[in-house]
């Protein structure tokens, strides 16, 4: 009898636990596991946040109808660069010690709210734009913006996994693994966008799920993108023209954005780490060598200009320098490559340090704020620089894009033990949060100009009423001169840096700032179907929606908002490094 009662008790408890799990599957995420690695350079992806068996689906790879590995390289080279060998070096911790972290009810509620906004956006994409690149969130139509290869679907894969939306993940993963890259009406592919969104999305989804079909599809795409390097000097152009690649007539550009060829390194390196195929790493290392060789040859030594002559491998033809549009992720990837390679390639630290020295001298600035405002907000922004015969002109123009720099300074500061850079990173991140709050919608614009403090960014900055009346805008908060491009297009860079600095410092008020930003974005952008870019953040009252929801809304913006309200072991910064599209790649362990 005792044995029978024991069995009934065990059965009863088991049933109770099963019902509890079915009712609350999301409330108690299991601890994440760092994927173990054997000795060597090819990390093995193993699932984290493992889905319950009832949600497991089969992901089937289907090859594309054209095999690009059969196309001859017209400018073949011997592989002279391979992944660095040896045991990855111990890295300084990037993430704050959260050993006493408690996932409190308020944070849990905020996490669920972000997830609900993601689900609403994703479900509308499924219903109205499935397999298209983007959803038009006002008209309910699908858009083709990146080759017709399901940009939103691929870009959102890892977010689906991180949010534990298992059924949708496997639905999307199966569709992604069967994409036919030949099935496009476009004649060219954007090398940069296809790499960061599609290749990065597939690699990250594989790192998280371990689904081999996703790595197979990533490898197939990598082989296509590798053809972009088939030029006389192995520098890729901005576009991969399919027919030119087959005919062997591709050439590098003479006036291309510096970020384009110089922001392929994380994805191609990760592809080599996972497949063992050294071609991809060899291809991007030739660009790294070019950057290292020319860093002091530009008109602002230490940095590379917005536009570069890749065909002649010259960097002295342009006078404009920025961490914003055209150049941003070139700089972002320097410390990230150091992390991804386990510290075994010292040139990335060297280049990062040299570039940031120039940034701190010539591009950082403080906005001139009224005395009480300045006491409450110790903030920084990063502007542009122009090299002139008589010196370097700093332009106090901010971009939403440059808000990523807070996280970049923070990461470099942590990895390379530069405490001042972590402080700079936090002040940059808080500056972007302050800028959100400065506008009636609670959202910052694409491009704006400020009234800067005179002198160095770390010098005293008294309020000057006369200067404000002469240079400031009477229609904007004190500190601003203009909102030159007043759109908000659902960008992620501000929450990206606030999330990263929260994870690096553990300062809880950054999460309150993030929540304020999240609520403002939702209120300003919500449509009947999802969320849309808006034309003007300076309006009071209803905003004008522009019927655009780029894939980074699901891939980046909502992922970062979700993660800042998640337990910090979910995508630990000491275990992962993000590409510029917020796709986390596993870092090697010593």
Active site residues: 193, 328, 446, 493
- Choose among 244, 245, 292, 302: nearest CA to 265: 292
Q: What angle do CA 434, 382, 238 make, to 5 degrees?
A: 120
Residue partners of 509: CB distance under 8 A and separation at least 6: none
CA 367 to chain centre: 26
CA distance 135 to 125: 6
The single-letter DSSP state of residue 537 is T
**Which sign, positive or negative, has the C-alpha torsion 573, 577, 579, 583?**
negative
The owner of tokens 């894009």 is: 401
- At residue 268, φ and ψ (nearest 5 deg) are -70, -35
**Token pair belonging to 560:** 């970062």
188 vs 361: CA distance, rounded Å: 40
Identify whether the C-beta of residue 174 lies closer than 8 Å to the C-beta of residue 126. Answer: no
What tokens appear for 71 in the block?
A: 């196309």
Find the helix or strand (DSSP H, E) in which 209 lies.
helix 200-209
**Burial class for 248, CB neighbours closer than 10 Å (0-12, 13-18, 19+):** middle
CA–CA dist 68, 251 (Å, integer): 19
């Amino acid at each position: 009898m005792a044995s029978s009662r024991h069995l009934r008790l065990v059965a009863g408890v088991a049933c109770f636990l099963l019902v509890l799990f079915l009712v609350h599957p999301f409330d108690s995420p299991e601890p994440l596991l760092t994927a173990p690695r054997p000795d060597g350079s090819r990390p093995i992806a193993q699932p984290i946040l493992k889905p319950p068996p009832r949600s497991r689906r089969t992901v089937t790879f289907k090859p594309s109808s054209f095999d690009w590995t059969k196309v001859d390289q017209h400018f073949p080279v011997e592989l002279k660069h391979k992944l660095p060998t040896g045991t990855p070096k111990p890295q300084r911790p990037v993430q704050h010690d959260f050993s006493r972290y408690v996932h409190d009810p308020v944070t849990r509620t905020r996490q669920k709210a972000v997830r609900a906004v993601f689900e609403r956006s994703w479900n509308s994409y499924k219903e109205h734009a499935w397999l298209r690149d983007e959803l038009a969130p006002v008209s309910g139509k699908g858009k083709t913006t990146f080759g017709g290869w399901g940009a939103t679907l691929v870009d959102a894969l890892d977010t689906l996994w991180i949010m534990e939306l298992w059924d949708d993940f496997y639905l999307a993963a199966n569709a992604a693994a069967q994409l036919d890259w030949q099935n496009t009406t476009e004649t060219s592919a954007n090398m940069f966008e296809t790499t960061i969104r599609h290749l990065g999305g597939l690699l990250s989804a594989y790192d998280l799920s371990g689904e081999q079909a996703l790595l197979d599809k990533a490898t197939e795409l990598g082989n296509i993108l590798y053809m972009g390097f088939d030029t006389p000097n192995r520098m890729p152009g901005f576009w991969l023209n399919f027919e030119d690649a087959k005919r062997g007539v591709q050439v590098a550009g003479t006036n291309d954005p510096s970020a384009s060829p110089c922001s392929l390194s994380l994805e191609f390196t990760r592809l080599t780490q996972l497949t063992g195929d050294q071609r991809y790493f060899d291809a991007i290392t030739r660009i790294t060598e070019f950057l290292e060789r020319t860093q002091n040859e530009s008109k602002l030594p230490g940095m590379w200009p917005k536009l570069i002559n890749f065909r002649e491998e010259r960097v002295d033809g342009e006078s404009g320098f920025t961490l914003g549009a055209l150049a941003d992720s070139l700089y972002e990837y320097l410390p990230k490559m150091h992390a991804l390679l386990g510290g075994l390639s010292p040139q990335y630290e060297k280049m990062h340090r040299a570039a940031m020295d120039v940034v701190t001298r010539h591009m950082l600035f403080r906005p001139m704020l009224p005395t009480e405002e300045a006491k409450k907000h110790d903030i920084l922004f990063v502007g542009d620089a122009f090299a002139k015969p008589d010196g370097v002109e700093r332009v106090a123009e901010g971009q939403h894009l440059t808000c990523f720099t807070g996280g970049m300074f923070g990461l470099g500061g942590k990895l390379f033990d530069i405490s001042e850079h972590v402080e700079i990173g936090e002040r940059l991140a808080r500056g972007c949060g302050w800028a959100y709050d400065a506008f009636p919608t609670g959202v910052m614009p694409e491009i704006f100009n400020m009234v800067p403090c005179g002198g160095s960014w770390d010098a005293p900055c008294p309020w000057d009423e006369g200067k404000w009346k002469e240079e400031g805008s009477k229609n904007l908060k004190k500190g601003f001169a203009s909102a030159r491009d007043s759109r908000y297009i659902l960008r992620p860079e501000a929450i990206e840096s606030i999330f990263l600095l929260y994870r690096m410092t553990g300062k809880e008020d950054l999460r309150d700032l993030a929540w304020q930003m999240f609520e403002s974005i939702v209120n300003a952008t919500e449509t009947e179907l999802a969320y849309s870019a808006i034309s003007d953040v300076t309006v009071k009252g209803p905003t004008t929606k522009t019927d655009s929801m780029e894939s980074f809304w699901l891939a980046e913006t909502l992922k970062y908002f979700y993660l800042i309200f998640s337990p910090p072991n979910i995508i630990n910064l000491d275990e992962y490094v993000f590409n510029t599209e917020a796709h986390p790649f596993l870092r090697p362990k010593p």
